[in-house]
């Protein structure tokens, strides 16, 4: 999966800070104004964009997480059973 980041205006590789006639700057500004096909939010500058149709990387990751088989217990689940005995390297 390739990821595109639209550089912030005025940074190296980014569009000019003010108005200009550079085609590249206009293209980057138009890309930043496009909307994510999942959440409908603007991409903006500095956002990570992926896919076709284009999505925020965080939206694509959320879709992938929901579409895959979820873990039995999420890593942040305080009720998950943690059986650490017998692991090589345990120094108990």
Looking at the DSSP assignment, which residues form a beta bridge with residue 48?
Answer: 5
Question: Is residue 79 in a domain?
Answer: no
pTM, rounded to two decimals = 0.63
Rounded to the nearest 5 percent, the helix, strand and coil shares of the chain are 25, 10, 65
Q: What is the pLDDT of residues 34-60, one digit of tens each?
A: 999 999 999 999 999 998 899 999 998
- Domain of residue 55, residue span: 3-66
Question: Is residue 53 in a domain?
Answer: yes
Those residues with Cβ within 8 angstroms of residue 33's Cβ, 6 or more apart along the chain or in another chain: 42, 43
Number of domains in the chain: 1
Please, which pLDDT band fits residue 68 given cuts at 50, 70 and 90?
low
Question: Is residue 20 in a domain?
Answer: yes
3-state secondary structure of 23: helix
């Amino acid at each position: 999966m390739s990821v595109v980041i639209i550089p912030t205006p005025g940074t190296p590789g980014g569009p000019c800070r003010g108005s200009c006639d550079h085609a590249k700057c206009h293209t980057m500004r138009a890309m930043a104004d496009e909307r994510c096909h999942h959440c409908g939010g603007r991409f903006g500058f500095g956002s990570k964009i992926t896919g076709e149709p284009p999505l925020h990387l965080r939206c694509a990751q959320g879709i992938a997480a929901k579409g895959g088989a979820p873990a039995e217990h999420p890593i942040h689940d305080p009720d998950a059973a943690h059986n650490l005995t017998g692991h090589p390297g345990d120094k108990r």
